[in-house]
Chain A
Amino acid sequence: MPVDLLQGKLDMLILKALTWGPMHGYAVTRWLQETTDDELLVEEGSLYPALHRMAKRKWVKAEWGISENNRRAKYYALTAAGRAQLQAQAGAWERLATIVTKVLTAQPAEVTA
């Protein structure tokens, strides 16, 4: 069953996608689908406000280019600030995941009489 993406985690995934090199929005979608085996439930369109917001914050740099099929497409490239942001977010996410996992996998304590 596909999983809903936690609010605010989309940025992190997009940044991760862009570590493979500059790509347009559609390519980011495809990469996400392939990497998650279609298990992630994302409105494809919601990628765009997120991308533009990150462009405003200078995490990514947007530039018009020519796509594989010879059409004008907007390409996004990771900036140094974006890379740093990705590291920070990924680090925080991993720690959270570890903690949540630890909690969820904890065994009921033995009650001593």
Chain B
Amino acid sequence: MRWLPDRYGGLRRLVRGGHVEREVDEEFAFHLDSVVAELTARGARPEAARAEALRRFGRVDTLREETVVVDREIEREAGRAEFLYALGRELRLAFRSLRRSPGFTLAALLTLGLGIGATTAIYTLLDAVVLRPLAYAESDRLVQIGSEVPGMGVGSRWGLSVAGYFHFQEHGRTLESLAYAAAGETTLTGGFAAERVNSASVSAGIFDVLRVAPAQGRAFRVEEERPGSERVAILGWDFWQQRYGGADVLGRTITLAGLDREIVGIMPRDVHLPQARVDVWLPVAFLDPTAPPVNSHWVSAIGRLQSGVAPDEAQRELAALTAQFPELFPGAYPQSFMERYGFDTYVSALQEEIVGTMARTLWVLLLAVAIVFLVAAANVANLFLVRIESRRRELAVRRALGAGRRALATHFLGESALIGGGSVVLAVFFAWLGTRLLVSIAPPHFPRLDEVGLTPGAVLAAILVGLLTMVVFGLVPLLQSTETALLREGRSTTAARRRRGIRSTLVVSQTALALVLLAAAGLALESFRQLTRVDIGIRPENALTFQVALPAMSYQGFQPVLEFYRSLTQRIEELNGVAAVGVTNMLPPVAGTGCSVVFIEDRPLQPGEEPRCVPTVTGSPGVYEALGVRVDGEVPSWAAMEHRAAGVVVTRAFAERFWPGEDPIGKGVRGNGAVPPYYRVVAVTGDIRAHGVDQPPAEAVFFPLQAIDGAPLWSPMYTGNVVVRTAAVPPLALIPQLRAVLAELNPEVPLVNPRTLHHVVENSPSMARASFTLTLLLIAGLMGLLLSAVGVFGVISYTVAQRTGEIGIRLALGARIETVKALVLRQSLTTVLIGVALGLVASVAGLRIMQSLLYEVSPTDPRVLFGVVAVLLAVAVLASYLPARRAAKVDPASVLRAE
């Protein structure tokens, strides 16, 4: 019996002594013999006749060779045709047989399709965001360079100082180039409705570092980095297309933040900064190599390493250069500062910096969906087993009629090929859908999302997984089917026991995997719960916020800025339904972590001690009430600010750091020098988690909009967050009126990014990441739970069906119904408990990889583990109770009759 088309027939025949040759020889021999016979019949002697026959025939050897070659070709072609024919026949047969059991087919297709599709979708995301190099030439040589200041807190990082930047640019031999690049926003006016656009502030060298060049016009020149010569701009491709319709704009003027700039270039399509999309590229205009060195670290630098240099090597060189700072720049970098803060320079691969913590999240999610796929695959394997069981009679007949193992294998391979092929098609569809879904629910500021798309590589991976699954499922059932087929229908207990063994193994592994998934989901849930329970210090309900950015050109100095905000808040207060309004440049929980040095009146610096660096922010009188911040004391009034007599408001964390156990009201704080006068602390807020829900409370000072005499402030609040608290009005309904108020006050100031405070909190990085992770892990966990419940149900049902006879006899002999139920439940729970035990071990060992993704919950949190075990057991009991009840309903009479 041939099982597969005989592709090796030629080879085999050759080994057996050349069947083609023998046939040709026989044919030639017949011819020669016939000629000889004819000649001898005419009276020739046999020897002469044979010689004559050979002469007439020609060169036997050459002709034989020629004929054999032709026959070999015939054989090969026939083999191929036979193979295709057999394949088509098997697939047709398989298709017909699957059509007869649509339930099985649909279940297997959907389960595998979803499993492979989900895995492919997460892999696509991981590939685009983490694995694929950044979209620049030789992007593995790109690094981020900045300052490390462990003395400010573990992992604290700053940018470079201007002095350090130029020093590295000149002396860093491991660096091919070094440039400044920062993403920001600016206001577009002049011919357009005032609007915020994404800007990049860059030094001229950025084009060399990233190896990009304008598609039209020119790049920036080095002199344009210098202060006072910044009146140029380069447009991003999309911005150019949208605003100017791709017209020739070189040399034309664009007004940004009140400043007229000449358009000198257009960037190519899809070229942006690594960290953000860019509408307009502007020269940095603050990089002055002749400026005296200052200990201020705002330079965000991107470098390109020399070819063949590793980041570590560059790190060592720059660290050595950094060690020279106290010598080179004694004023800005005293030795005491270097030691106290452990000041150093770091070099790290740009891609890692961009991708950040998302890499680990995505790996964990990929692992989770892969486990879901395994659980799903176990179910499908089970389905195949059940299907074979139900066809044992058919198989037995086929076997009896002479079908060998191989014939049966071909048949099952045909079926699994169809299932595998079908599920790959579904999987690619689900992957496409899933990728879009993932992109739409991804947290804001998720890196590189615009690069996400289904790649040929991912599709190929899906196909390979599908193929593998198909071969495994096609062949595994065979391990037992032939045994089964030989046995008489349903009587052999040993065979039944072995089948149960395979199925129990499936259930045990499913349960264990499902437990790991559930535990991961449970941890994510608990972590999220902890995050939502954090008191961030503001009340997000019934409040909205938007940004304003004042053009520094038209508001020079503190007084005009103060007046603008005062009239703005007054007009907003008059609107119907507004309860409170205020302005600040620190919006919890998404405030930046910048800091300025402050001095405390009654805490003079000890010799060698460095001054404290804390977030110094600006707050208008109404902002505390608008944010819903608890305040003890009297916050400064507009009048006090205007009269240059306002005090400061400090956060509780600030007060506790500098005046632990003391009343902070009346204490003195100031920046820019430790000489009187000091600002008086007039009020203390509650703890505010300004830098993120998962971060410690901010140690911040709210300074007034106008300085007191003799204690200058840093800079007017050109960019502010207006916060409006409403009463009895949905916050977002106010937007049109707010826009009108702003336009009336100054049409050049746009209303930017209006959203509810609630939205700000939900979408803050830590919350958004936690809820993204939670959503996906919950889906994975629930799928794992459901799939393994189906697995348990299937196996127990099957066992009950197998033991119908036994149960009937037990009942006939007087066993109680409860006893029968308990029998079934006990058996299923034993299996499940083994799975639970294995799953617990795996969870404790494996979930440590989630550590950095969790907030205030240990990866082996006993409550979480206990909870998920309870859930899993409850579901398992439910899944086995249904078949147990069926067992109890067995009618002893009919069973005995069947026996």
Taking a contact as CB atoms under 8 Å apart, the answer to whether A67 and B63 are in contact is no
Task: Name the residue on B nearest A68 (C-beta).
Answer: B34
Q: What's the minimum C-beta distance from B51 to chain A, rounded to whole angstroms?
A: 14
Query: Quick one: closest A residue to B61, CB to CB?
Result: A45
CB within 8 Å of B: which A69-102 residues: 69, 71-74
Nearest residue, chain B, Cβ from A29: B31
Among B51-87, those with CB < 8 Å from A are 56-60, 63, 66-67, 70-71, 73-74, 77
Interface residues of B in 8-56 (CB under 8 A from A): 23-24, 26-28, 30-31, 33-35, 37, 56
A39 on the B face (CB < 8 A): no
Which residues of B lie under 8 Å from residue A9 when comparing CB positions? none
Bound-complex Cα distance A22 to B771 (A):
82
Residues from chain B with Cβ under 8 Å of A73 in the complex:
27, 30
CA–CA, A28 and B28, complex, Å: 13
Residues A48 and B63 in contact, CB atoms below 8 Å apart: yes
Known contacts A44-B56, A72-B26; decide if A49 and B67 are in contact (CB<8 Å).
yes
| Nearest B residue (CB) for A25 | B31
B663 to chain A, nearest CB (A): 107
> Which residues of B have CB within 8 Å of A44?
31, 35, 56-58
Contact B58 A56 (CB under 8 A): no
Is there contact, CB below 8 Å, between B60 and A45? yes
User: Which of A49, A67, A71, A72 touches B66 (beta carbons < 8 Å)?
Assistant: A49
**Closest CB-CB distance, A22 to chain B, in whole Å?**
15
B63 to nearest A CB, angstroms?
A: 4
Query: Which residues does chain A contribute within 8 Å of B26, judged by CB atoms?
Result: 72, 74
Tell me if B70 and A45 are in contact (CB < 8 A): no
Which residues of chain A have C-beta atoms less than 8 A from B37's C-beta? 69
Interface centre among B60, B66, B73 (most CB of A within 10 A): B66
B interface, over-half SS? helix
Known A45-B57, A72-B30, A73-B30; contact A26-B74, beta-carbon cutoff 8 A: no
Q: Would you call B74 and A56 a contact (CB within 8 A)?
A: yes
Residues on A with C-beta less than 8 A from B66 are 49
Judge whether A55 is part of the interface by a CB distance below 8 angstroms: yes
Residue of A49, A53, A71 ringed by the most chain B CB atoms within 10 A: A49
Contact-residue size bin, chain A (C-beta under 8 Å from the other chain): 20 to 34
Q: How far is B59's CA from A56's CA once the two chains are assembled, in angstroms?
A: 22
Smallest Cβ distance from A62 to chain B, in angstroms? 9
Question: In the complex, which residue of chain A has the Cβ closest to the Cβ of B29?
Answer: A71
**From B26, B31, B66, B73, residue with most partner A Cβ within 10 Å:** B31
Question: Does A46 count as interface, using CB distance less than 8 angstroms?
Answer: yes
- Say yes or no: A48 contacts B27, CB within 8 Å: yes
Give the complex CA separation of A43 and B63 in angstroms: 10
> Which of A24, A44, A69 is packed against the most chain B CB atoms within 10 Å?
A44
Does B70 lie within 8 Å of A46, measured CB to CB? Answer: no
* Closest residue of B by beta carbon distance from A47: B31
**Given A45-B57, A56-B74: A71 and B30 within 8 A (CB)?**
yes
B27–A25 touching, CB < 8 Å: yes
Per the CB 8 Å criterion, the residue count for chain B at the interface is 24
Which residues in B have their C-beta under 8 angstroms from that of A25?
Answer: 27, 30-31
Contact, CB under 8 Å: B30 / A52: no
| Complex interface: chain B residues within 8 A of A56 (CB) | 70, 73-74, 77
Evaluate whether A45 and B58 lie within 8 angstroms (CB atoms) in the complex, with A25-B27, A29-B31 already known.
Answer: yes
A67–B30 CB distance below 8 A: yes
Indicate if the CB atoms of B56 and A48 lie closer than 8 Å: no
Flag if B34 contacts A52 (CB, 8 Å).
Answer: no
Q: Is the CB of A26 within 8 A of B34?
A: yes
Q: A46 touching B58 by the CB < 8 A rule? A: yes
State the Cβ distance, B165 to closest chain A Cβ, in Å.
Answer: 78
Q: Is B70's CB under 8 angstroms from A49's CB?
A: yes
Q: Is the CB of A52 within 8 A of B70?
A: yes
The residues of B that contact A29 with a CB separation of less than 8 Å are 31
State in angstroms the CA–CA spacing of A56 and B81 once bound together: 13
If A24-B30, A73-B27 touch, whether A46 touches B63 (CB-CB below 8 Å) is yes
Which residues of chain B are within 8 angstroms of A52 by Cβ–Cβ distance? 67, 70-71, 74
CB distance from A109 to the nearest CB of B (A): 46
Contacts of A24 in B (CB 8 A): 27, 30-31
CB distance from B288 to the nearest CB of A (A): 86
Q: Are B77 and A48 in contact (CB under 8 A)?
A: no
How many Å lie between the Cα of A52 and that of B74 in the bound state?
9
Contact B28 A26 (CB under 8 A): no
Expressed in whole angstroms, the minimum distance between the Cβ of B26 and any Cβ of chain A is 7
B residues 190-240 near A (Cβ < 8 Å) are none
- B27 to chain A minimum Cβ distance, whole angstroms, is 5
Highest count of chain A CB atoms <10 Å: which of B35, B56, B70: B70
Query: How far is the CB of A10 from the nearest CB of chain B, in Å?
Result: 13
CA distance in complex: A89, B35 (Å): 30
Chain A residue contacts of B57, Cβ below 8 A: 43-45
Inter-chain contacts of A69 with B (CB < 8 A)? 34, 37
Distance A43 CA – B28 CA, assembled complex (angstroms): 13
- In the bound assembly, the distance between CA atoms of A52 and B73 in angstroms comes to 10
Complex CA distance for A48 and B30, rounded to whole angstroms: 12
Of A43, A48, A72, the contact of B67 (CB 8 Å cutoff)? A48
Tell me the complex Cα distance, A1–B59, Å.
23
Please, which residue of chain B has its CB at the minimum distance from the CB of A27? B34
Q: How far does the alpha carbon of A108 sit from the alpha carbon of B566 in the complex, in Å?
A: 122
Cα distance A52–B23 in the bound complex, in angstroms: 12
- Cα distance A71–B31 in the bound complex, in angstroms: 11
> Could you tell me the distance between the alpha carbons of A88 and B28 in the complex, rounded to whole angstroms?
30
Across the interface, name the chain A residue whose C-beta is closest to B77.
Answer: A56
Report the bound CA distance from A29 to B349 in whole Å: 84
CA distance A26 to B26 in the complex (A): 13
Closest to B74 in A: A56
Query: Of residues 67 to 119 in B, which have CB atoms within 8 Å of A's CB atoms?
Result: 67, 70-71, 73-74, 77
Residues of A within 8 A of B74 (CB): 52, 55-56
Q: Interface 1/0s, chain A 9-48, versus B by CB < 8 A?
A: 0000000000000001110010000000000000111101
Cβ distance A50 to chain B, nearest Cβ, rounded Å: 9
A69 nearest CB across to chain B (Å):
8
Cβ-closest chain A residue relative to B26: A72
Expressed in whole angstroms, the minimum distance between the Cβ of B67 and any Cβ of chain A is 5
How far, in angstroms, from A15 to B494 measured CA to CA in the complex?
A: 66
> How distant is A75 from chain B, measured CB to nearest CB, in Å?
10
CB-defined A-B contacts under 8 Å, sample of 7: A24-B30, A24-B31, A25-B30, A43-B56, A48-B31, A49-B66, A55-B70
Q: Which 10 A-B pairs have the closest CB atoms?
A: A43-B58, A45-B58, A45-B57, A52-B70, A45-B63, A49-B66, A26-B34, A26-B31, A74-B27, A44-B57
